[in-house]
């Protein structure tokens, strides 16, 4: 159980005993949040070369990581985003930094000063075909054939790597046009070679759709709840991303976590951040909306939610305002509420050991929830 309310005072006094302040960076309770240093983890710097397909490293860093000029490198950013880039040597780059341009930073969901990790990419293949579409606001008023004017010169003999879901900017004609990689064959990333077929037919991508994807919340977007965030990551992220860890040591992973605190303290935000950072399917249940006048429909809605999550596991089921659907059974007069609480308990108890589903719930009235759920 994690309290998302504000932290208490810095000193804990009990008779004549006073506990000293604990440095947040060395607090064992928040160890999971610490950034671990490694040779392949580098600080993002702005690129001098405005190419979407390359990154620049110092010669010393390339030697340390055993990269060679022209190698394909897998770069991992935030919110489980990654892309493939070509390595270039540039001795004006600091040894602890990597230079990537604005478009690549956007694809990786990172900003200047953030940390990315670099990995050898040996399994990338030449693409058979790719499908790309322009972003609508960059092609307004553009005339002529997009393939001939923009895509053909951009990819011709360049052997550029592309990653499904990435954006790339092409300068040509009178203006720059932004494209999105919709599909790649045979894998999620590939090299566009001379015999790769490039499709660009279809309706342009809407800018608002792309901006909504960029607005996905992550761990770095939440402030003031360091200890609570550490607890949630330990209880939720570990079972979802490393289920084999619990199996190997012979313990059952936690299946539920209740967050309580005043409205506006970030309970729902935390749940969304965990889902985005782990790549888990996120199923939101608003407590009052699940209730129905029809007999049995409320329980049916709950069952459907759990079935949907199981199909899309790893998944997080988030029940907001759980106190509205799971009040104390001995205090409520409604038969529907009693049945919903019983159904919720049955569903949570019936979660399969390997189903990779975690149930999160939020309330500002924890004492009004049925004790069996606490």
What is the full DSSP assignment across 93-147? S-TTEEEE-HHHHHHHT--TT-EEEEEE----EE-SEEEEEEBGGGSTT--S-HI
Instruction: Look at residue 164 and tell me if it is in a domain.
Output: yes
Q: Are residues 116 and 129 in the same domain?
A: no
Provide the 8-state DSSP code for 21: P
Q: Are residues 155 and 133 in the same domain?
A: yes
Establish if 313 belongs to a structural domain.
yes
Structure tokens at 332: 């409520």
CA angle 125, 128, 133 (to 5 degrees): 110
Question: How many helices and strands in the chain, by DSSP H and E?
Answer: 12, 20
Q: How confident is the model at residue 133 (pLDDT cuts 50, 70, 90)?
A: very high
Which pLDDT does position 19 carry in this prediction? 43
- 């935390």: which residue's tokens? 270
pLDDT at 141: 82
pLDDT of residue 288: 79
Q: What is the mean pLDDT of residues 303-331?
A: 87
Distance CA 322, CA 132 (A): 43
Q: CA-to-CA distance for 254 and 278, rounded, in angstroms?
A: 16
pLDDT (tens digit per residue) in 94-116: 999 999 999 999 999 999 999 99
- 18 band by pLDDT with thresholds 50, 70 and 90: very low
Torsions phi, psi for 53 (to 5 deg) = -105, 0
Task: Taking residues 151-160, report their average pLDDT.
Answer: 93
Do 131 and 109 sit in the same domain of this protein? no
Could you tell me if residue 70 is left (phi over 0), alpha (psi between -120 and 50 degrees) or otherwise beta? Answer: left
Q: For residue range 301-315, list pLDDT tens digits in order.
A: 889 989 998 898 888
Residues 262 and 308 in one domain: yes
Who wins on pLDDT, 10 or 288?
Answer: 288
Number of domain units in the chain: 3
**Distance between CA atoms of residues 373 and 259, nearest Å:** 12
Does 289 score more than 90 pLDDT? no
Question: Does any domain span residue 287?
Answer: yes
Q: Are residues 225 and 356 in the same domain?
A: yes
The pLDDT score that the predictor gives to residue 29 is 60
Phi, psi values for residue 91, rounded to 5°: -75, 0
- Residue that wins the pLDDT comparison between 295 and 53: 53
Are 241 and 333 in the same domain? yes
Domain at 73, CATH number: 2.40.40.20
What's the rounded Cα separation, in Å, for the pair 326 and 340?
7
- Indicate if 301 and 359 belong to the same structural domain: yes
CATH of the domain at 133: 3.10.330.10
The answer to whether position 4 is within a domain reads no
Evaluate whether residue 79 is within a structural domain: yes
Q: Using alpha carbons, select from 249, 243, 252, 162 the residue that is nearest to residue 200.
A: 162
Burial class from Cβ neighbours inside 10 Å (0-12, 13-18, 19+) for residue 231 reads buried
Region 271-291: mean pLDDT is: 85
Mean per-residue pLDDT of the chain: 85
pLDDT at site 169: 94
164 plus 302 within the same structural domain: no
- Kindly report, residue by residue over 220-263, the tens digit of the pLDDT: 888 888 888 888 888 888 888 888 888 888 888 887 899 998 98
Position 300 in a domain: yes
Judged against a pLDDT cut of 90, whether residue 356 lies above it is answered with no
pLDDT tops 80 at residue 64: yes
Element (H, E) at 61: helix 59-65
| pLDDT given for residue 32 in this prediction | 61
Q: Is 374 or 26 the better-scoring residue by pLDDT?
A: 374
Give Cα 189 distance to the centre of its chain.
19
**Comparing C-alpha atoms, which of 342, 358, 343 is closest to residue 270?**
358
**For residue 314, is the peptide bond before it cis, meaning its omega torsion is within 30 degrees of 0?**
yes
In this structure, the answer to whether residues 245 and 365 fall within a common structural domain is: yes
What is the percent of the chain where pLDDT is above 70? 88
Provide the residue range defining the domain that includes 94: 41-120
Kindly state whether residues 79 and 139 are assigned to the same domain.
Answer: no
Residue after which a domain boundary falls, among 172, 207, 242 = 207
Same domain, 177 and 258: no
Q: Are 152 and 110 in contact (CB under 8 A)?
A: no
pTM over 0.75: no
When pLDDT is cut at 50, 70 and 90, the band that residue 5 belongs to is very low
Q: Could you tell me if residue 169 is inside a domain?
A: yes
For helices 335-349 and 297-311, the axis angle rounded to 10 degrees is 20
Residue 2 confidence (pLDDT) above 70:
no
Structure tokens given for 248: 């190997």
Distance CA 104, CA 84 (A): 10
Domain assignment present for 27: no
Residue 28 scores a pLDDT above 70: no
Domain end position, chosen among 207, 227, 262? 207
351 and 260 in a common domain: yes
Q: Strand, coil or helix: what is 186?
A: coil
Q: What does the alpha-carbon distance between residue 294 and residue 297 come to, in Å, rounded to a whole number? A: 6
Last residue of a domain, one of 67, 92, 120: 120
CA-based max dimension of the chain: 81
Q: Are 47 and 105 in contact (CB under 8 A)?
A: no
CATH number at residue 354: 3.40.50.300
């Amino acid at each position: 159980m994690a309290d998302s309310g504000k932290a208490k005072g810095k000193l804990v006094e009990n008779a004549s005993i006073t506990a000293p302040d604990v440095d947040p960076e060395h607090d064992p309770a928040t160890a999971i949040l610490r950034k671990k240093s490694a040779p392949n983890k580098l600080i993002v710097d702005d690129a001098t070369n405005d190419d979407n397909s390359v990154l620049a490293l110092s010669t010393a860093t390339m030697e340390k990581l055993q990269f060679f000029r022209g190698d394909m490198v897998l770069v991992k950013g935030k919110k489980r985003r990654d892309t493939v880039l070509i390595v270039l040597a540039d001795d004006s780059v600091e040894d602890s930094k990597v230079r990537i341009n604005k478009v690549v930073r956007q694809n990786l969901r990172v900003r200047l000063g953030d940390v990315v990790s670099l990995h050898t990419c040996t399994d990338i293949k030449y693409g058979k075909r790719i499908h790309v579409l322009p972003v609508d606001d960059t092609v307004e008023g553009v005339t002529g054939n997009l393939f001939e004017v923009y895509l053909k010169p951009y990819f011709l003999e360049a052997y550029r790597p592309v990653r499904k879901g990435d954006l790339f900017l092409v300068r040509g004609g009178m203006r720059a046009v932004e494209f999105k990689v919709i599909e790649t064959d045979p894998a999620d990333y590939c090299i566009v070679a001379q015999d790769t077929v490039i499709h660009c037919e279809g309706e342009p991508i809407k800018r608002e759709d792309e901006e909504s994807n960029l607005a996905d919340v992550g761990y770095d977007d939440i402030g003031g709840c360091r200890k609570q965030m550490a607890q949630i990551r330990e209880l939720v992220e570990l079972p979802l991303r490393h289920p084999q860890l619990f199996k190997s040591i012979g313990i059952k992973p936690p299946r539920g976590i209740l967050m309580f605190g005043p409205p506006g303290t970030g309970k729902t935000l935390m749940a969304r951040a965990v889902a985005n950072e782990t790549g888990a399917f996120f199923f939101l249940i608003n407590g009052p909306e699940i209730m129905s006048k029809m007999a049995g429909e409320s329980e049916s809605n709950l069952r459907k939610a759990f079935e949907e999550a199981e199909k899309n596991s790893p998944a997080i089921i988030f029940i907001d305002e759980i106190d509205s659907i799971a009040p104390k059974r001995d205090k409520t007069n409604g038969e529907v509420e009693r049945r919903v609480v019983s159904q919720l308990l049955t569903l949570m108890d019936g979660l399969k050991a390997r189903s990779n589903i975690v149930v999160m719930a939020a309330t500002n009235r924890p004492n009004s929830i049925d004790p069996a759920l606490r």
